[in-house]
Amino acid sequence: MRYPSVDILRTVAIVVMVLVHFPENLSNYIPPFTGLGAPLFTFLSGVSYRLWLNGQEARGISDEQISKITIRRGLFVFGVGFAFNILIWLPEDTFNWDVLTFIGSAILLLNLLRRLPISISVLIAIISIVISPALRATAEYSSYWENGYFECDLTLTDVIIGYLATGYFPIFPWITFSLAGFITATLLFNPVQDERPAIWQFTIFGTGLFLLAMIGLQIRNYAPAIISTHILSGWHMFPPSTEYVFATIGMAMFLFAVLHQFVDLNPKLCSDVSRFRVFKTFSRYAFTIYLLHHMVHLWPLWIYGYLMGGETTAYWQNAMPVTISIPLACLFLLVCYLVLRRINPDDRYGVEGWMRWLCG
């Protein structure tokens, strides 16, 4: 079953990412809503996995078969993530641990956790938040981000540290986002209706997390140096500070609960499918759009730099004014919508179709 709430949020996530990446990579402009797309995207990866699981279980697919499909899908996304790093960010960034390699790993982990009590997922999500600052401090996070972006030596130790704690999207604490989505959807879409918690509880919890983050931001100035440096380190995505993690999980949970209440559970609204066509199109091809928008704005940059005879990345963040890069992002989204809406969902176009064909 497709839930409009998931489609709407995934559309928001992908649109935010496109509108952030174009001006950031072409004009070195950081829009104010930077850092809101990826948390939503990773939160929804957990939600979607639970919804997919419910669908498979309802169809009577065996547990073993579900595991096989999940592992294939996880490895597929992980592999595409590596291919993406090599082809889009060029081979020196193979191990930058971008969002796709993270989501691939998260899918593999969720496959293990789906059979365990939900309280174990909650425990791991909490532990992930708690240990992340300690891991970053142990690894000396700033030494991997000296130029404002992640760089590591191609040694096994650095690669593993990057994967676990210091990369762009390391397992800790980003796994908390996927787990939060998975837990929320597991509780909210429990096949036993009587055991479902009330939706308002998620709304309150999401709001609570957001307020907690805001309080953290306020009190960090008065906290001891060790806390303000490692735990309440302010609002930033790289590394994801505790306040950032709390606020974005709270936001994702709040938005999802509210949309589920007022859109999914509103038969009048849901009956009109045409209302959600835009969201459905963007949501269905979010993975493809994520890859495509990088190709569209980064490849010309690398080719132009190469043709000009300098460094391939010479024009990165220095190619055009923001007044052009943002309209270009909007144009890309418009063209994407017009092209993708014509594609028959059953055709195997797009990375999602290839994944279904290959992994089941």
Partner 1 sequence: MSLPKNLLECLPEEARVENIKFVSRDTNALNELFQFPIAINRKAISVSTDGDSTEKADLTLLIVPASISLDAEKISAIRKWVEGDNHPIEPTSLMLSLQHVQILWSPERIAIVAEKNRVETVQRAMIEVTYYVSELMNIEYEISQRWPQLESDIPIAFQYDQKRVGRKRELMQKFQSIYLLRAQLSRITPFLLCPHVYPPTLASQVGERLRERVRVEDRVEFLSDQLEVYEEVYELCSQRINDHQHAYKGHTLEWMIIILLLVQILFSVFDYLTIAGT
Comparing CB distances to partner 1, the nearer of 120 and 308 is 120
Cβ proximity to partner 1: between 88 and 127 the closer is 127
Give residues with Cβ within 8 angstroms of 61, minimum separation 6: none
Nearer to partner 1, 76 or 172 (CB): 172
Nearer to partner 1, 111 or 283 (CB): 111
Of 216, 204, 281, the residue nearest 242 (C-alpha): 216
Q: Shortest distance, CB of residue 292 to partner 1, whole angstroms? A: 36
To partner 1, the closest distance from the beta carbon of 183 in angstroms equals 14
Residues that bind partner 1 (CB under 8 A): 57, 116-117, 119-120, 123-124, 127, 131, 134-135, 138-140, 153, 155, 157-158, 160-161, 164-165, 191-192, 194-195
Centroid of chain to Cα 269: 27
Tell whether the torsion through CA atoms of 335, 9, 30 and 83 is positive or negative. Answer: negative
Contact (CB, 8 A) for 359 and 73: yes
Residue 252's nearest CA partner among 322, 182, 333 is: 182
Q: By C-beta, is 161 or 319 nearer to partner 1?
A: 161
Query: Measured at the alpha carbon of residue 222, what is the angle toward residues 220 and 226, in degrees to the nearest 5?
Result: 65
The nearest distance, CB 94 to partner 1, in angstroms, is 18
Minimum CB distance to partner 1, residue 13 (Å)? 29
Burial class (CB in 10 A: 0-12, 13-18, 19+), 252: buried
**CA 186, 188, 191, 197: dihedral to nearest 10 degrees?**
110
Closer residue to partner 1 in complex, CB, 135/185: 135
Gyration radius from the chain CA atoms: 20
CA atoms within 13 A on the CB side of 348: 7
With a CB cutoff of 8 Å and minimum separation 6, the contacts of 262 are: 269
Contact (Cβ atoms closer than 8 angstroms) between residue 133 and residue 229: no
Residue number, 194 or 347, with CB nearest to partner 1? 194
**Closer residue to partner 1 (CB): 127 or 322:** 127
Q: Is 311 exposed, middle or buried (0-12, 13-18, 19+ CB in 10 A)?
A: exposed
Give min distance, CB of 313 to partner 1, in A.
26
- Smallest gap from Cβ 155 to partner 1, in A, equals 7
- Least distance in Å: CB of 130 to partner 1? 9
Q: Please give the Cα distance from 201 to 214 (Å, whole number).
A: 20
Least Å from the CB of residue 158 to partner 1: 6
Taking alpha carbons only, the member of 103, 128, 93 closest to residue 48 is 103
Residue among 102 and 302 whose Cβ is closer to partner 1: 102
Name which of 130, 217, 214, 125 is nearest 177 in CA terms: 125
Least CB distance from residue 134 to partner 1, whole Å? 8
